[in-house]
Chain A
Amino acid sequence: MINNSQHALKTQLWRDFTLAARNKSEWMNPLLFFVFAAILFPLGIGPDTTILKQIAPGIIWVVALLAALLSLDSMFRSDYEDGSLEQLTLSPYPFAALVFTKVSVHWLLTGLPLILLAPLLATFFHLDGDATLILMQTLLLGTPVLSLVGAIGSALTVGLKRGSMLISLLVLPLYVPVLIFGANAVSASTAGLDISGHMMLIASLLALSITLAPLATAAALRASIG
């Protein structure tokens, strides 16, 4: 028998997916940006295969980060503006869990497609199969962190009129560790070094974010709603 909270979360999930289906640009635009921005680098730097191979992990990760930033502003804004966010805080269901569901939908629409698009970008940069696989693994562990931590920034600024620039300033310092370990894991694996440390660190960042970020996000949303 499904209890009320589970039902509420499922309803939330379904609602967010339905809304996303009706507002495709909110999550598709960042993905398009991801691909276009990545393509700009070979065009600007030149087609030298050796150079492209070297810079690929860093560039793909940075572009993933920027795409995530682009998608953050819309995470809570429409719900805030039409008042449904406030209704959620008043509901008897655990707010942090509802927030986590929202963030999960965000990741499924903006983070997961990045991982699936990564092989395409890897081709543009002449990244070999093994490295691409590692890249996808780092993205798999890292992009949820981007969504979870980004949600905190989004929640803090949702009540502000021009919050989108501020989000970047708040969230980028917190993104730095994920970027460093994610990109370096791929570079290190290409050099033949052991990357288990890198992967474990990203995994621990993920564990930390999953447990704590929804709480911080919930608190931030409550503060923004006032």
Chain B
Amino acid sequence: MLQTITKLASLKNFYFFCGKLLPWFAWPTLILMVVGLYWGLVEAPADYQQKDSYRIIFIHVPAAWMSLFVYMVMATSAAASMIWKTKASEVVANSCAPIGAAFTFLALATGSLWGKPMWGTWWEWDARLTSELVLLFLYLGYMALQSAFEDKRTAARATSILAIVGVVNIPIIHYSVEWWFTLHQGPTVQLLKNKQAMDTSMLIPLLIMATAFKFYYVTVLLMRSRNEILERESHSKWVQEEKERL
């Protein structure tokens, strides 16, 4: 097992490994998305208070969950890069940033579009919204820092530090709704435990969409990672052979 992991540290092996995984994540993404969207938009009943506007939840909550999840993957890869100096983890961390930024933007935008009919305002400076906005800037800062360096090695070391330092924001986002009584509603899935639990007919499509988003994330991550590997290793023989093949 350890041998397989250490073999993966080589960019060439990692490239082909990602290639093999790709269909296993791409197809389920499509299937889960179709099922989840149908169930959420058509099958699930309308909410008693919010009527049909609540259906934004099937995009908003998965996007928000992913914005946090992707950052943790990015920070973990960054830590791995610093500790073991593996190039593969550098590649993964770099590939995570634009995807994470996209999810964060989506969470903020759909949240805003849901907030207007639900609370009457496009934006509020409450703890969760503010810290999610900060998360977007952390992602953008990572991308800006990365592109500022000419040498990829130096870039990787700098961005790894930034990613790790920014991790403090993640628990703030997650626990903000528990620590501060603010506008944004409480934790979504905890609503299972108390009486105002989310109905199963709504929870299931939500979980399906969340899973779909996860598979989607891995798909796109694999694609971006392979591209970065091609770019980094463009001088090597196996990349030339790959070019011939394609």
Question: Across the interface, do A216 and B141 meet the contact criterion of CB distance under 8 Å?
Answer: no
Question: Across the interface, do B161 and A152 meet the contact criterion of CB distance under 8 Å?
Answer: yes
Closest to A177 in B: B172
Chain A interface, >50% SS class: helix
Alpha-carbon separation in the docked complex, A216 to B159 (Å): 12
Question: Across the interface, do A156 and B172 meet the contact criterion of CB distance under 8 Å?
Answer: no
Task: Kindly count the residue-residue contacts between A and B in the assembled complex, taking CB atoms under 8 Å apart.
Answer: 61
A110 within 8 A of B: no
Chain B interface, >50% SS class: helix
Shortest distance between the CB of A196 and any CB in chain B (Å): 15
Question: Across the interface, do B137 and A156 meet the contact criterion of CB distance under 8 Å?
Answer: no
Closest to B140 in A: A169
Shortest distance between the CB of B127 and any CB in chain A (Å): 9
Of residues 167 through 197 on chain A, the ones whose CB sits less than 8 Å from some CB of chain B are 169-170, 172-174, 176-177, 180
Residues of A within 8 A of B137 (CB): 169, 172-173
Alpha-carbon separation in the docked complex, A152 to B160 (Å): 12
Closest to A226 in B: B154
Closest to B136 in A: A173
Shortest distance between the CB of B67 and any CB in chain A (Å): 14
Contact of A166 among B130, B148, B172 (CB under 8 A): B148
A163 within 8 A of B: yes
CB-CB under 8 A for A157 and B134, given A169-B140, A216-B164, A224-B158: no
| Per-residue A-contact encoding for B126-168, CB less than 8 Å = 1, 0 else | 0000110011011011001100110101100110011011101
Alpha-carbon separation in the docked complex, A77 to B151 (Å): 19
Alpha-carbon separation in the docked complex, A163 to B141 (Å): 12
Residues of B within 8 A of A160 (CB): 148-149
CB-CB under 8 A for A223 and B148, given A170-B141, A173-B138, A173-B141: no
Alpha-carbon separation in the docked complex, A169 to B165 (Å): 14
Of residues 132 through 178 on chain A, the ones whose CB sits less than 8 Å from some CB of chain B are 152, 156-157, 159-160, 163, 166, 169-170, 172-174, 176-177
Alpha-carbon separation in the docked complex, A224 to B169 (Å): 24
Residues of B within 8 A of A112 (CB): none
Shortest distance between the CB of A26 and any CB in chain B (Å): 23
Residues of B within 8 A of A157 (CB): 145, 148, 158
Alpha-carbon separation in the docked complex, A157 to B135 (Å): 20
Shortest distance between the CB of A161 and any CB in chain B (Å): 9
A52 within 8 A of B: no
Of residues 189 through 226 on chain A, the ones whose CB sits less than 8 Å from some CB of chain B are 208, 216, 219-220, 222-224, 226
Residues of B within 8 A of A156 (CB): 145, 158, 161-162
Question: Across the interface, do B165 and A223 meet the contact criterion of CB distance under 8 Å?
Answer: no
Residues of B within 8 A of A163 (CB): 148
CB-CB under 8 A for A170 and B169, given A159-B154, A220-B161, A226-B151: no
Contact of A224 among B131, B134, B141, B154 (CB under 8 A): B154
Given A159-B149, A176-B134, A222-B157; 11 other pairs, CB 8 A cutoff? A152-B161, A152-B165, A156-B158, A157-B158, A160-B148, A166-B144, A170-B144, A173-B135, A174-B166, A219-B157, A224-B154
Q: Nearest 9 CB-CB pairs, A to B? A: A223-B157, A173-B137, A170-B141, A173-B134, A156-B158, A169-B141, A220-B161, A173-B138, A223-B158
19 inter-chain pairs at a CB distance below 8 angstroms, sorted by A residue, are A152-B165, A156-B158, A156-B161, A156-B162, A157-B158, A166-B141, A169-B144, A170-B141, A170-B145, A172-B137, A173-B134, A173-B137, A174-B165, A176-B134, A216-B161, A216-B165, A219-B161, A222-B157, A224-B154
